[in-house]
Chains A and B, each alone.
Chain A
Amino acid sequence: MPPSDTSPSRPPSVLVLTKNEEINIERCLDALAFSDDVVVLDSGSTDRTIGLAEGRPNVRVIHRAFDTEYKQRNYGLHDIDYKNPWLYICDADERVTDELRDELLRVTNDASLDHVAYRLRYKNYFMGRWIRRSSGGPVWIIRLVQPEKVVYEQRETNVHPMVDGTTGELDGQFAHYSFNAGLVRWFSKHNFYSDREAEEAAKVRGKGLPPFSDLTRGDPIARRRALKNLSFFLIGRPLWRFLYSYVWGRGFMDGRAGFQYCCMVSMYEYWIELKTREIRARWEDKPLELGREGMAKETAKGGGR
């Protein structure tokens, strides 16, 4: 059913979370020109991000200090007044393609659809090409929502939205340029993410092995989460992750970019494993204890090799 004449076509509002995204913000906002209400929710950029975002007629910049990801995202959903009933959520290193834009405009104006949220896929770009297979796709994520029907779960990172209603699927995909800010940024970010994932993994492992039946229950996102929780118990998780994405996921078909990407993700998995070990074996204060022991033992008569 086409949009009726009585209710003129309304684009979704857009929420963009930023911090120091001067490399990305212009191209990101260029691709969001279809919306009359783009909100940049910035958590303390110290580069040119804000200056580059302001001054566009369809863009507002709102500031909020970052505390945790789910609080930041929930603030973006519930504490900002949007002009439009639908909200598209976007990161600065993502580009809405023309096909996706057309689909967003279509589904948000189609009164025959009664979904309150939509999930979609994305194309990861690395070393100048779409790394279609190595990035383990397709991953479905919820990005188009009616904000009042959705709340983000309380988790350390990689938070998923919980939807009160049905979720539809979009064919269009956005392009994801997570390497624009350079690999140093990717390493630093993944160092940070792996801290959070390790805390999560330590919690999951502390509770003991979850039931395998979780793997077949719930929607794809819940099943993915169950698989992840189980995987925290694997020995040699980084290697398994590499084989999963490079061999089983056919990452080798993405050429050199695919190989490097699979190795990098494996390194990230290794960091999670390392930090999970750090938490579970309580490395934190051991050096202090060992130091005191050493001072007592390493006298002229004894100790030390």
Chain B
Amino acid sequence: MDRPPRQPAPMPEGYDPAEAGRFLEDGPKIDVMIPTLNEAHHIAEAVANAAMIGRVHVLDSFSTDGTQELAREAGATVVEHEFENYSRQKNWGLNNLPMEGEWVFILDADERVTPRLAEELIRVGRSGAPEAGYFVNRINLMMGRPIRFGGLYPSWNLRFFKRGQARYEDRKVHEHMFCDGPTAHLPRRARMLHIRLETMSDYVQKHVKYADMESDEWVRLALNPDQWKREVEQFPPAQRMRLWLRRRVTPGLPFRPAIRFLYMYLVQGGFLDGRAGYHLAMLMADYEYMISLLFKEKLERARREAKGQSAVD
């Protein structure tokens, strides 16, 4: 939708930018890393929010909207580094930002640490617990409400860990974190808020993009059945069944979009989120449907091209 660009967020009233440059008095020493790209509308608020728990570092991928300047004004240290993919960017930040604390928290610019979570982090940081990393719950604020069902909540992310003891796996999207020591979950109520400002148009477009990538994977497997064996053998046997179900069985199921909708809306309780739950389940069904259609289209084109026929008209 043609909306005017959002205005840069002002610094919250009563906030002192010096807070972002120092650790908490009598608290655990926590460094917060905020990876950014063009977040002028959010960054001052995010930095001020992160300053509640420690020193703030902004890792920017060469924003063009003045994010860097606004972050500096809000008291964060700003380092720019060229973006390659999410996991590599964040791993680079973990290795190269001037961090000095014992703990690290990773926060996105559109996420907020609630006061309750801040207290919990401080308590855990002080306690001398043996855990190297903690999973933190997160709630999505979108479609005019917090989303509590449909499989989208709770959403656990490893975000709080002892410095030097965790890193991201090398993967383009949906990257996970590895931790060197034992991990635990913080209480469910000590959560982050995820302020989702994307339009529905952005949301659909993202699904189109992911469906495009996912269907490429399906075609690759369909054209090279031998590859499947090699791929699945990389994984430990315990995971193979799950992969087999997800990548070999479900693609062939009839009525996949409808099944997905019913599962999310009824089984996972999406209906309890009211209209938003309905829309999220419908969008997920659309996503599944797009994957199926694209898979058929690409397979057909690949076969025609193999026979030397034109792919169009």
Contact = CB atoms under 8 A, between A and B. Distances in A.
Interface string A74-103: 000000000000000000000100000000
Nearest to B45: A291
B201 A270 contact: no
Contacts of B37: none
Contact of B141 (A23, A263, A291): A291
Given A191-B208, A270-B282, A287-B196, A177 B114 contact: no
Contact of B200 (A184, A187, A274, A295): A274
A304 B191 contact: yes
Given A295-B112, A300-B119, A303-B116, A275 B200 contact: yes
A305 B148 contact: yes
A43 interface: no
Nearest to B208: A187
B286 A286 contact: no
Interface residues of A, number: 47
A288 B197 contact: yes
Which of B139, B208, B275 has the largest count of A CB atoms less than 10 A from its CB?
B208
Contact of B294 (A125, A177, A184, A188): A184
Given A287-B141, A291-B141, A180 B282 contact: no
Given A188-B208, A298-B114, A286 B312 contact: no
Contacts of B205: 188, 191
Interface string A254-284: 0000001001100100110011011101111
A198 to B, nearest CB: 8
A283 B142 CA distance: 7
B208 A177 contact: no
Interface string B284-313: 001001100110010010000000000011
A299 B115 contact: yes
Contact of A180 (B188, B279, B312): B312
Contacts of B201: 191-192, 194-195, 275
B125 interface: no
Size class of the B contact interface (CB-based, 8 Å): 35 or more
A225 interface: no
Contacts of A177: 312-313
A290 interface: yes
Given A184-B208, A184-B212, A305-B189, A290 B141 contact: yes
A267 B279 contact: no
A304 B293 contact: no
Contacts of A305: 148, 189
Given A290-B146, A298-B116, A271 B204 contact: yes
A290 B148 CA distance: 14
Interface string B113-151: 011110100000000000000000001011111101000
A275 B1 CA distance: 9
A277 B276 CA distance: 10
B1 A294 contact: no
B275 A277 contact: yes
Tell me whether chain A's interface is mostly helix, strand or loop, or mixed.
helix
Nearest to B207: A187
B1 A283 contact: no
B195 A288 contact: yes
A282 B197 CA distance: 12
B199 A294 contact: no
Which of A180, A182, A274, A282 has the largest count of B CB atoms less than 10 A from its CB?
A274
Nearest to B202: A191
B3 interface: yes
Contacts of A194: 201, 204
A1 interface: no
Contact of B313 (A180, A183, A287, A298): A180
A214 interface: no
A281 B144 CA distance: 8
Contacts of B219: none
A299 B117 CA distance: 8
A127 B311 CA distance: 11
Given A184-B294, A267-B286, A290-B145, A191 B204 contact: yes
B208 A294 contact: no
Contacts of B199: 278, 284
B283 interface: yes
Nearest to B279: A274
B193 interface: yes
Contact of A295 (B115, B142, B189): B115
Contacts of B297: 182-183
A299 B300 CA distance: 56
Given A183-B290, A260-B293, A295-B115, 19 more contacts: A125-B313, A184-B211, A187-B290, A192-B201, A264-B293, A270-B282, A274-B200, A277-B279, A278-B199, A283-B144, A287-B141, A287-B195, A290-B141, A291-B195, A294-B146, A299-B114, A299-B115, A304-B190, A305-B189
Closest 7 CB pairs of A and B: A298-B114, A304-B189, A287-B141, A180-B312, A286-B144, A291-B195, A290-B141
Interface of B: 1, 3, 49, 112, 114-117, 119, 139, 141-146, 148, 188-191, 193, 195-197, 199-201, 204-205, 208, 211-212, 275, 279, 282-283, 286, 289-290, 293-294, 297, 300, 312-313
20 contacts: A177-B313, A183-B294, A187-B204, A187-B290, A194-B201, A195-B1, A199-B1, A260-B293, A275-B1, A283-B143, A287-B142, A290-B193, A294-B112, A295-B112, A295-B193, A298-B191, A303-B114, A304-B116, A304-B189, A305-B189
